Amino acid sequence: MRTPHPPDRELEPEAAELTGTRSSDVRFIDALLHQADLSDARLPHFELRNCVLRACNLANMHGRGAVFERVAIESGRLTGVRFVEARLTDVVITGCRVDLASFGGTRMERVTFEDCQMAQTDFLEATLDGVRFHGCDLRAVDFRGARLRNTEFRRCELIELQGVESLRGAALEWETVVGMAAVWAAALGIKILDE
């Protein structure tokens, strides 16, 4: 599996205070954003290209149709973010809160989520190709209708997962597969016999 192509690390710092902003023409290219606040913003077609975001707040941001290419998001808050029908390519999200978020209808290619809190996030009807979830809390995450290809889960919490039948095309550690035997059986309509 190919890993995401990282952004350049020698980027020009930019200030961004966009709390509650409503605009369809916001883009950052070749930028380093540190502690930027984009919470509650409505930014359709938001673009990030060759960017690093450190300790930024994107909570409850709506970015329908957003485009992220060669982006690293580190130690940020993405609680309740709505990147619906977006496109994420070569993106690494590390040590972030991405809970209660929505990636419905989004296309992800070579994306890594590492050490993220992602409880109750949805990937409804999303396409995941080369996506990696490493050390993530995926409790009650919803994959209904998602299409997975070359997607892997390592050291992840998968309790109350929805849409398990959509995990076709995923790779999981053996311990996880065995531990979720009852979930797989229920998804396939298999009844468990008492001894």
Q: From the CA atom positions of the chain, what is the Rg in Å?
A: 17
Q: What is the 3-state secondary structure (H, E, C) of the chain?
A: CCCCCCCCCCCEEECCECCCCECCCCEEEEEEEECCECCCCECCCCEEEEEEEECCECCCCECCCCEEEEEEEECCECCCCECCCCEEEEEEEECCECCCCECCCCEEEEEEEECCECCCCECCCCEEEEEEEECCECCCCECCCCEEECEEEECCECCCCECHHHHCCEEECHHHHHHCHHHHHHHHCCCCCCC
Residue 78: name the closest of 93, 97, 92 by CA.
97
Residue 18 has a pLDDT of 82
Q: Does residue 7 sit within a domain?
A: no
Percent of the chain with pLDDT over 90: 69
pLDDT at residue 149 is higher than 80:
yes
pLDDT at residue 71 is higher than 90:
yes
pLDDT at residue 186 is higher than 90:
no
Q: Does residue 45 sit within a domain?
A: yes
Task: Name the phi and psi angles at 153, rounded to 5.
Answer: -125, 120
Q: Does residue 2 sit within a domain?
A: no
Residue 25 has a pLDDT of 87
Residue 156 has a pLDDT of 94
Q: What is the mean pLDDT of residues 158-182?
A: 86
Q: Does residue 1 sit within a domain?
A: no
Q: Does residue 6 sit within a domain?
A: no
Q: What is the pLDDT of residues 94-145, one digit of tens each?
A: 999 999 999 999 999 999 999 999 999 999 999 999 999 999 999 999 999 9
Question: What is the Cα–Cα distance from 64 to 112, expressed in whole angstroms?
Answer: 20
Confidence bin at 3 (pLDDT 50/70/90):
confident
Residue 132: name the closest of 117, 144, 149 by CA.
149
Q: What is the pLDDT of residues 7-50, one digit of tens each?
A: 876 777 777 778 888 998 899 999 999 999 999 999 999 999 99
Percent of the chain with pLDDT over 70: 98
For residue 98, what are the domain limits? 12-188
Residue 30 sits in a domain of what CATH number?
A: 2.160.20.80
Q: How many domains does the chain have?
A: 1
